[in-house]
Amino acid sequence: MSQTLDLPALREKARSLRLDILDMTTHAGSGHPSSSFSSVEILTALYFGGILRYRSDEPHWPERDRFIMSKGHAAPLLYAVLAHAGYFDREKLWTLRQVDSPVEGHPVQGRLPGIETTSGSLGKGISVGLGHVLGGRMNGLNYRIYVLLGDGECEEGQIWEAAIAAAHFKADNLIAIVDYNKYQETGPISREMALEPFVEKWRAFGWHVEEVDGHDIQAIIETLKAVQKMKGRPSVIITHTVKGKGVSFVEADYTFHGRALTPEQAEKAREEILCG
Ligand SMILES: Cc1ncc(C[n+]2csc(CCOP(=O)(O)OP(=O)(O)O)c2C)c(N)n1
Ligand SMILES: [Mg+2]
């Protein structure tokens, strides 16, 4: 991959991913568009910004970095990214949530190349990631593991149990990224189960913490490169995001969490994404 960043191309990639998420979920009539839109720039930075080491034509390459989609309901985004990265034919995307399609409502390991873990039941990602850390050590492999968490997901107790363990095992090749969009399924995090002071909590658990604008691709890439140098403890990047990013009326309405846009709404959304 090229060392010089082509930011206009990366922004164009992010736009294409948003359009694919929109088309997949509208065609399926269900799914999680706003959760997927929220993390588009994070995955663009990881997969297309020269961060993640992968070979889409050799999905089980032992030295590959692992990407764990812990907020598994953002499956449409993961599928769009994997298709754009060359893991499978993009035409498959339009079978999202159809009976017998491998493009399931939540990712299932083994159903499509590039899916590193089954997810959808929230809270497991750091535990899975730490398993890869310890397995890599036993096998003498130096890959990194990136785990994408939702902020609502961080209300799960297993996240914090795994955070203790990751610090204990000095898992400095484990990088958690929190999509801090301030909303979960049923409303604002501050009302449902407040997380603040969030940075201090991670620090108290022994993690190195960075904060970044989760829609600024360049800043995300720079932060990811910075945490790669961390020694002796795991890192977490808290990315400040907007749930539904890119479509004004989805940003303004958290009930789009598990609801697709109607075909009419999708036309308005397409215009906004194309002009944004
Ligand atoms: C263990 C578990 N409990 C509840 C759910 C139902 N659920 C699906 S998504 C979601 C909210 C997740 O919010 P967040 O992590 O903030 O993700 P966002 O969509 O905002 O990115 C919930 C409660 C689940 N999938 N797994
Ligand atoms: Mg959230």
Ligand nearest to the CA of 37: 1
What's the 276 CA to ligand 1 centre distance in angstroms?
27
Phi, psi of 27 (to 5 degrees): -65, -40
Mutate-to-test residue for ligand 1 from 32, 40, 69, 71, highest number of ligand atoms within 8 A of CB: 71
Mean pLDDT of 181-200: 97
What's the 227 CA to ligand 1 centre distance in angstroms?
27
State pLDDT tens for residues 30-84: 999 999 999 999 999 999 999 999 999 999 999 999 999 999 999 999 999 999 9
Mean pLDDT of 111-126: 98
Mean pLDDT of 183-201: 97
- CA nearest 240: which of 205, 207, 216, 206? 216
Q: Decide if pLDDT at 1 tops 90.
A: no
What's the 2 CA to ligand 1 centre distance in angstroms?
36
Compute CA distances 249 → 159, 227, 240, 255, whole Å: 32, 35, 19, 11
Query: In this predicted structure, what is the pLDDT of residue 276?
Result: 86
State pLDDT tens for residues 164-180: 999 999 999 999 999 99
The per-residue pLDDT of the chain, averaged, comes to 97
Mean pLDDT of 132-157: 98
Mutate-to-test residue for ligand 1 from 126, 185, 193, 254, highest number of ligand atoms within 8 A of CB: 185
Nearest CA owner, ligand 1 atom 10: 185
What's the 245 CA to ligand 1 centre distance in angstroms?
17
Q: Decide if pLDDT at 5 tops 50.
A: yes
Nearest CA owner, ligand 1 atom 13: 184
Query: What is the number of the ligand 1 atom nearest to the C-alpha of 154?
Result: 15
Q: How far apart (Å, rounded) are the C-alpha atoms in residues 129 and 206?
A: 17
Mutate-to-test residue for ligand 1 from 126, 153, 240, 242, highest number of ligand atoms within 8 A of CB: 153
Query: What is the number of the ligand 1 atom nearest to the C-alpha of 155?
Result: 15
Query: In this predicted structure, what is the pLDDT of residue 4?
Result: 82
Query: In this predicted structure, what is the pLDDT of residue 3?
Result: 61
